[in-house]
Homo-oligomer: A and B are copies of this chain.
Amino acid sequence: MTATCQRIVLASRPNGWVTTENFRLEHVPVPAPGPGQLLVRNHYLSLDPYMRGRMEEKGGYAEPQKLGETMIGGTVGVVEASNHAGFAVGDTVLGVLGWQEYALSDGTMLRKVDARSVPLQAWLGVLGMPGVTAWYGLNRICKPKAGETVLVSAASGAVGSVVGQLAKLAGCRAVGIAGGQEKCEYVVAELGFDACIDHRRHGDVKSMTRALREAAPNGIDGLFENVGGTCLDAALACMNPFGRIALCGLIAGYNGQDIAIHNARALLVSRLELTGFIISEHLDAWPPALADLVPAVAGGRIKYRESIADGLAAAPEAFIGLLQGRNFGKQLVRLT
């Protein structure tokens, strides 16, 4: 009798909001590794906003997710069997093995990670793509100097929370935007931001602009943009001359609606520099980013929070919650 395991495939493409019907849970045999392969049992799956883009037929910057195939996703797990010289049974590994409990790998995109000084799943969040995204956008694009002000949207999220804490460690004033009082309090009280604005209380550009001027009385020098829309238009109005904008996400427009920058004039008038980026294209940033992040996380100078859904079957709902801002901290799915 063959042991079986679960995986989730893309069943259909979303039309606007993602629904659970876009996914299908399948039971498949646990695969056996061939020559040069290894078998990984995934312990945690990472859920990230970029997955929404992959669900579109016309992909954005990456190949679209194919229908009927296992959803893409970052994972951490433990090697259970290995015919690969580089990996042994018991190794803890970080990979992109998708929405499934078990996966084969030939070692491509698979990396052994330390799970003693930090928890294994930290490699999916604060020490993974979100953490390195934060580090890159802040240090390579926003380039803040001590005394400057950095604004980050989605500030309680996996990326935003690291942006603000790194900005504080660099001697900057850190201002966040988040949804709801609880998240805003966490951003200030737990993460140590200087201020955090609740975008639910400032739904239009005028109101958000007023709130930003209060929270950033010296103007904004570096903007790490995860959201777009009203927040971005208001932030543009508050940017200092020669400000730098790292355009990391436009989550406000993930369902295909128009996410215009209405305040384009500010880009010219304030001589701003705006750079869109995708961290997977900057692999050279990983070593310096981790050199900063690992000791800061192990030493407690950078804090993080996780939203953990239990079991693969809970992944679709958790993903939808992520897109709607219902998660609080890095969204993970525990698979063991």
In the complex, A206 has a CB within 8 A of chain B: no
Is A284 interfacial (CB-CB < 8 Å)?
Answer: no
Is B276's CB under 8 angstroms from A270's CB? yes
How many chain copies does the complex carry?
A: 2
Question: A271, B277: Cβ atoms under 8 Å?
Answer: yes
Q: Decide: B271 and A267 in contact? CB cutoff 8 A.
A: no
Residues from chain B with Cβ under 8 Å of A281 in the complex: 271
Q: Does B275 lie within 8 Å of A273, measured CB to CB?
A: yes
Chain A positions 211-255 with a Cβ under 8 Å from a chain B Cβ: 228, 241, 247-250, 253
Are A228's CB and B264's CB within 8 A? yes
The 8 closest A-B pairs by CB, nearest first: A268-B276, A260-B260, A261-B261, A60-B269, A260-B262, A274-B274, A261-B264, A271-B276
Residue in B248, B253, B258, B268 whose CB lies within 8 Å of A249? B268
| Chain B residues with CB under 8 A of A250 | 264-265, 268
B residues in contact with A60, CB < 8 Å: 265, 268-269
A241, B271: Cβ atoms closer than 8 Å: no
Query: Could you mark each residue 99-115 of chain A with 1 if its beta carbon is under 8 Å from any beta carbon of chain B, else 0?
Result: 00000000000000000
In contact, B61 and A269 (Cβ under 8 angstroms): yes
Q: Does A290 contact B (CB under 8 A)?
A: no
Are the CB atoms of B61 and A271 closer together than 8 Å?
A: yes
Q: Which residues of B contact A269 (CB under 8 A)?
A: 60-61, 276
Q: How far is the CA of A281 from the CA of B60 in the complex (A)?
A: 36
Nearest to A274 among chain B residues (CB) is B274
Does A296 have its Cβ within 8 Å of any Cβ on chain B?
no
Beta-carbon contact of A247 and B267 below 8 Å? yes
* Measured CA separation A272–B276 after assembly (Å): 5
Q: A61-B270, A271-B61 are in contact. Are A253 and B265 (CB under 8 A)?
A: yes
In whole angstroms, how far apart are the Cα atoms of A173 and B80 in the complex?
A: 55
Residues of B within 8 A of A261 (CB): 260-261, 264
Give a binary string over A273-307; 1 marks a CB under 8 Å from any B CB, 0 the rest.
Answer: 11111100100000000000000000000000000
Find chain B residues with CB under 8 A from A268 CB: 60-61, 247-250, 276
Q: Is A259 an interface residue (CB 8 A)?
A: yes
The verdict on A278 contacting B267 (CB below 8 Å), with A260-B260, A262-B258 known, is no
With a cutoff of 8 Å between Cβ atoms, the chain B residues found around residue A260 in the complex are 260-262, 264
- Say whether B273 contacts A241, CB under 8 Å: no
Which residue of B has the minimal Cβ distance to A228?
A: B264
Please indicate the chain B residues that have their CB under 8 angstroms from the CB of A274 in the complex: 267, 272-275
Complex: A269 Cα to B277 Cα, angstroms = 8
* Beta-carbon nearest neighbor of A254 in chain B: B265
Q: Is B275 a contact partner of A241 (Cβ separation < 8 A)?
A: no
B residues less than 8 Å from A259 (CB atoms): 264-265
Name the residue on B nearest A263 (C-beta). Answer: B260
